[in-house]
Amino acid sequence: MLKVVVPMAASILATEFVMAQTEIVGNVDSKCIIISETPGVYGNPNPYQLTTATTDGGVQPIIRYDVLAADYYKAVIEHPIAFSSAPTLDDVVTWTGDVEVSEMSDTNMADYDTNKVEYDNAHEYEMTVAGSTWFKISSAADYGYTKSFPAGTYTAIVEAECIPL
């Protein structure tokens, strides 16, 4: 009996030692992660208007950028200037939009909006501080000269890019 019990106990002990040595390895590297926190919804306060403004029944999309090292990346966010899907439209749509920092994990990010570069519908931010930054996008589309949008589903896409410097 003892001949069986002793080797079993020894093998269990040996297994426990092996398990105790199991490691978890992780590397903290420079990297950029784009997180889509809130997808966004267009409200329809007037027949001719679609807008993400909260006061008009819309929801502003929110994108978070996590940057693990400072001065490695720039964020480029483009507010929509066209519908990606919509009913057939036979008149001009006038687009307006903006991007702004809504929250930050570090107070040193406070000047991101002041220092951003704007061209066309793109807003370019240099990520000079490590941490998380939340960007809030506003978008509005006006159809013709106060013309009613045809009934249907309208979708427009916000482009969020993270580009190494």
Sites of contact with other proteins (CB under 8 A)? 29-37, 39-40, 61, 63-64, 66, 72-73, 80, 84-85, 105-106, 130-132, 153, 155-165
For residue 115, the 8-state DSSP code is H
Q: 138 near 97, Cβ under 8 Å? A: yes
Q: Of 106 and 118, which has the nearer Cβ to other proteins?
A: 106
To the nearest whole angstrom, how small is the minimum distance from the Cβ of residue 26 to other proteins? Answer: 11
Q: Of 7 and 152, which has the nearer Cβ to other proteins?
A: 152
Q: 39 near 160, Cβ under 8 Å? A: no
Q: Of 43 and 147, which has the nearer Cβ to other proteins?
A: 43
To the nearest whole angstrom, how small is the minimum distance from the Cβ of residue 130 to other proteins? Answer: 7
To the nearest whole angstrom, how small is the minimum distance from the Cβ of residue 90 to other proteins? Answer: 21
Q: Of 36 and 96, which has the nearer Cβ to other proteins?
A: 36
Q: 63 near 135, Cβ under 8 Å? A: yes
Give the DSSP per-residue string, 101-114.
EEEESSGGGGGHHH
Task: Give the contacts of 87 (CB within 8 A, at least 6 positions apart).
Answer: 149, 150, 151, 152, 153, 154
Q: Of 48 and 58, which has the nearer Cβ to other proteins?
A: 58
One-letter amino acid identity for 121? N
To the nearest whole angstrom, how small is the minimum distance from the Cβ of residue 43 to other proteins? Answer: 14
Q: 135 near 65, Cβ under 8 Å? A: yes
To the nearest whole angstrom, how small is the minimum distance from the Cβ of residue 44 to other proteins? Answer: 15
